[in-house]
Copies of this chain bind each other. A is one copy, B any other.
Amino acid sequence: MTRFAFLIDPAPADAGAVDLDATIARIDPDQPALSVGDMSANRGDGVFESIGVFDGRAKQVGPHLDRLANSARLLDMPEPNRAQWRRAVETAVAAVPDEGEWTIKLLISRGVQIGAVGAPSSGPTAWVTASRSADYTAQRTDGIRVVSLDRGYDSNAAQRSPWLLLGAKTLSYAVNMAAAREARRRGADEAVFTTTDGYLLEAPTANLILRRGDQFVTPEPTAGLLHGTTQLEAFDWLEDSGYPTGYEHLPAAALADADAAWFVSSIRLAAPISSIDGRALPVDHALTAALNDYLRS
């Protein structure tokens, strides 16, 4: 449930000196705030980021803002004003309590459509929300049961057809939500997407890391997935801890054959995978706890 919300009046990227606070208006999250013509609600036409906040500290704000800008570029939307979005994150962080786990979402919609399909919009609309995160203790400790689901694309689709927006974090997440429902229908907690040519991608809202011996690998971001901010952080920690890391085209079977595996995301942090398609995977409790201590800090 959204506890705090802010409407943002998007400033041009090159706006120069702007009274940023004047562009960020706190609103009552229970009151209507968006027009029925907003293209986010009509077309899923926009971009977003979710940032974990732990005891008052927002995780990896810079990389999240980088990815927000990249998503906007892939959707031919105006470049976000970085200073404005940084201020918006700071404003949201200041609003939430200094303890516990919170989720801050940044959303930019193409705006309100003027006229017919494809016609120009009013210019972007944007907002920020803050909600208390779900309790992920059990997932982080006991692990999650995962089933693999076809994402429908081959591993060259992202490069071949950029209009499929495979590297963008868009508001069009109906398929991600449907995959999560399908996973639960199959008695699992979550899905991992695979390509039609048999490679591992990511989860609907997380990235995948596998352990093979002392090496840690994640699927190539160019294969049609979102490059994860938390995966990057986890790799930093693993490298510092003496483990080599790498990006690979990983066949679907690599998950069942892994020595351990995790879903990682900014909100949930690292959740060990306890089974894939019904087959048990080893869970390394000590390493997971140490990784989560690092990601939380």
Contact across chains for A157 and B164 when beta carbons are under 8 A apart: no
**CB-based nearest B residue for A122:** B1
Q: Let me know if A196 is at the binding interface, CB within 8 A.
A: yes
Segment of A43-51, A54-62, A214-222, A241-249 in the binding face? A43-51
**CB-based nearest B residue for A154:** B196
Contact across chains for A29 and B37 when beta carbons are under 8 A apart: yes
Contact across chains for B163 and A157 when beta carbons are under 8 A apart: no
Per-residue interface assignment for chain A, residues 19 to 33, with 1 indicating a CB less than 8 Å from any chain B CB and 0 otherwise: 000000001011111
Q: Which residues of B contact A31 (CB under 8 A)?
A: 32, 35
Would you give the shortest CB distance from A118 to chain B, in whole angstroms? Answer: 5
Would you give the shortest CB distance from A172 to chain B, in whole angstroms? Answer: 3
Per-residue interface assignment for chain A, residues 95 to 126, with 1 indicating a CB less than 8 Å from any chain B CB and 0 otherwise: 00000000001010110011111110000000
Kindly identify which residue among B32, B110, B174, B179 contacts A44, using a CB–CB cutoff of 8 Å. B174
A-side interface residues, number (CB < 8 Å) = 72
Kindly identify which residue among B43, B115, B161 contacts A150, using a CB–CB cutoff of 8 Å. B161
Segment of A180-188, A228-236, A286-294 in the binding face? A180-188
Q: Which residues of B contact A5 (CB under 8 A)?
A: 36-37
Segment of A83-91, A127-135, A251-259, A272-280 in the binding face? A127-135
Q: Let me know if A192 is at the binding interface, CB within 8 A.
A: no
Contact across chains for A114 and B48 when beta carbons are under 8 A apart: no
Bound-state Cα–Cα, A180 to B204, Å: 26
Bound-state Cα–Cα, A29 to B115, Å: 14
Would you give the shortest CB distance from A279 to chain B, in whole angstroms? Answer: 21
Bound-state Cα–Cα, A42 to B134, Å: 17
Would you give the shortest CB distance from A11 to chain B, in whole angstroms? Answer: 19
**CB-based nearest B residue for A44:** B44
Kindly identify which residue among B41, B44, B116, B149 contacts A161, using a CB–CB cutoff of 8 Å. B149
Per-residue interface assignment for chain A, residues 142 to 182, with 1 indicating a CB less than 8 Å from any chain B CB and 0 otherwise: 00000001111110010011111100101111111111111
Kindly identify which residue among B48, B127, B152, B154 contacts A164, using a CB–CB cutoff of 8 Å. B152
**CB-based nearest B residue for A2:** B37
18 contacts between A and B (CB under 8 A): A1-B37, A27-B36, A32-B32, A33-B34, A40-B41, A40-B42, A42-B171, A44-B170, A44-B174, A45-B173, A45-B174, A75-B174, A116-B133, A116-B134, A119-B134, A165-B175, A165-B178, A170-B174
Closest 4 CB pairs of A and B: A44-B44, A116-B134, A172-B172, A172-B174
